């Protein structure tokens, strides 16, 4: 009588598999255990016996799949927080607002217009990730004091991974723009690359603009009010009027509001960061004049800009634009004042939340600017 072939394994339980009329008995440790092949005496083929109790995934397989999904989601969450989403959102709103400023009539909203807007958004978001990532790489020691929750400062993201993401983001941004063939957009984003690098880098004496209030303001104005927005505007306008630059009262009003917001945001940003900045020799204006004076200076500056906006709205020749501009800016200045009164300036968390609230007001302003006529 022919003896059955057996496979060596560590598990003591047996399972039987039928293969081409012969029966092979196998001892298996688990589904991932290597099973030695058995050779049937009446066949030249080697049979790898795999013993499966049923057709459904084992508990360990399900756990492995779950862990992979959780790891992927965790990695995406880390990258999301590394990109500073509030700043990325501002970039999206900036592109949309600046693009809509070029629109005079509904017929301007052509398919080419939307293609141009999409190109600007993708290029802008990637460059924003570069700027924020490079800043975190250069400021890792400061962030361990001021912002220990950031992925790089907390150790959730390694320095090597941060550098890879940052470099790839810059490459992706400029490559996408070069492929689009838009030189205004390229020069705008390249200018952002230059000033963003100069703001954080400390390799040369003339760099590290964030150390001084005026160079920090210069960086913010260029990135949020002048060079980059102009790049967006000319890029999109080429789809409407062939690149012919036309500026009206509402364009100058928009530039003025963006400059005010840029100044307020870059100065207010330093209020919750005073401790870490002083320890690393950064002479922010907030550390020089004190958080209390800096806080209310920013609030009054922004409030004054809102008051001017209401006046501009009141002088508009368009009825619907008049009401939208007046009511919109009245609501924002009211919310600004109410929120400011509730802030504990001595509390870092409270001032940090107020800083994020100012970004939300910035988003609202981006939506209101194209409606000014």
Q: For 14-25, write each residue's pLDDT tens digit.
A: 344 433 444 343
Q: Does 276 reside within a domain?
A: no
Q: CA 218, CA 209: separation in Å to the nearest integer?
A: 9
Residue 38: helix, strand or coil by DSSP?
A: strand
The residue among 296, 285, 288, 278 whose CA lies nearest residue 351 is 296
DSSP H or E stretch at residue 80: helix 59-82
Same domain, 113 and 255: yes
Query: How many degrees, rounded to 5, is the angle at CA 239 between CA 238 and CA 241?
Result: 60
Same domain, 103 and 228: yes
Q: Does 289 reside within a domain?
A: no
Same domain, 23 and 154: no
Same domain, 322 and 190: no
pLDDT in tens, 83-121: 999 999 999 999 999 999 988 888 888 899 999 999 999
Same domain, 108 and 216: yes
Q: What is the pTM of this model?
A: 0.77
Same domain, 93 and 31: no
Q: Does 119 reside within a domain?
A: yes
What CATH number should be reported for the domain holding residue 135?
1.10.357.140
pLDDT of res. 135: 94
Q: Find the distance separating the first CA and the last CA of the chain, reported in whole Å.
A: 99
What is the share, in percent, of the chain residues with pLDDT greater than 90?
A: 53
Same domain, 218 and 106: yes
Q: Does 87 reside within a domain?
A: yes
Tokens of 18: 């039928």
Same domain, 216 and 338: no
Q: Which stretches within 83-203 are classed as H helix? A: 85-101, 111-138, 140-146, 151-154, 159-180, 183-200
Number of domain units in the chain: 3
**Stretch 296-302: mean pLDDT:** 96
Highest mean pLDDT among 131-140, 237-246, 276-285: 131-140
Q: What is the mean pLDDT of the chain?
A: 83
Same domain, 167 and 245: yes
Same domain, 47 and 90: no
Same domain, 255 and 366: no
Same domain, 93 and 242: yes
The whole domain housing 32 covers: 6-56
Q: CA 329, CA 273: separation in Å to the nearest integer?
A: 29
């Amino acid at each position: 009588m022919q003896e059955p072939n057996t496979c060596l394994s560590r598990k003591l339980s047996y399972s039987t598999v039928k293969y081409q009329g012969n029966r092979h008995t196998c001892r298996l440790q688990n589904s991932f255990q290597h099973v030695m092949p058995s050779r049937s005496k009446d066949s030249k083929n080697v049979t790898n016996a795999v013993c499966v109790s049923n057709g459904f995934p084992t508990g360990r397989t399900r756990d492995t799949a779950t862990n992979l999904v959780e790891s992927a989601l965790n990695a995406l969450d880390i990258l999301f927080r590394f990109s500073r989403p509030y700043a990325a959102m501002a970039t999206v709103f900036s592109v949309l607002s600046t693009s809509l400023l070029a629109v005079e009539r509904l017929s301007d909203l052509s398919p080419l217009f939307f293609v141009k807007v999409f190109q600007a958004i993708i290029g802008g978001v990637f460059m924003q990730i570069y700027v924020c990532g490079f800043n975190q790489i250069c400021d890792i020691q400061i962030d361990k004091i001021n912002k220990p929750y950031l992925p790089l400062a907390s150790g959730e993201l390694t320095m090597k991974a941060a550098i890879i993401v940052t470099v790839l983001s810059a490459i992706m941004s400029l490559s996408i723009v070069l492929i689009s063939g838009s030189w205004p957009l390229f020069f705008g984003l390249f200018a952002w690359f230059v000033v963003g690098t100069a703001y954080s880098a400390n390799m040369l004496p003339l760099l590290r603009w964030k150390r001084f209030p005026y160079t920090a303001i210069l960086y913010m104005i260029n990135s949020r009010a002048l060079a980059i927005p102009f790049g967006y505007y000319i890029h999109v306008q080429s789809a409407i009027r062939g690149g012919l630059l036309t500026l009206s009262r509402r364009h100058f009003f928009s530039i003025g509001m963006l400059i005010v917001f840029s100044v307020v945001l870059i100065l207010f940003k330093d209020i919750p960061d005073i401790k870490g900045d002083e320890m690393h020799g950064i002479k922010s204006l907030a550390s020089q004049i004190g958080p209390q004076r800096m806080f209310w200076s920013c609030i009054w500056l922004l409030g004054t800009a809102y008051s001017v906006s209401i006046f501009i709205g009141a002088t508009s020749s368009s009825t619907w634009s008049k009401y939208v501009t007046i009511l919109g800016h009245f609501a924002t200045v009211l919310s600004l004042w109410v929120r400011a009164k509730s802030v504990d300036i001595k509390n870092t968390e409270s001032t940090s939340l107020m800083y994020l609230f100012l970004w939300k007001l910035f988003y609202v302003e981006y939506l209101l600017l194209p409606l000014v006529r």
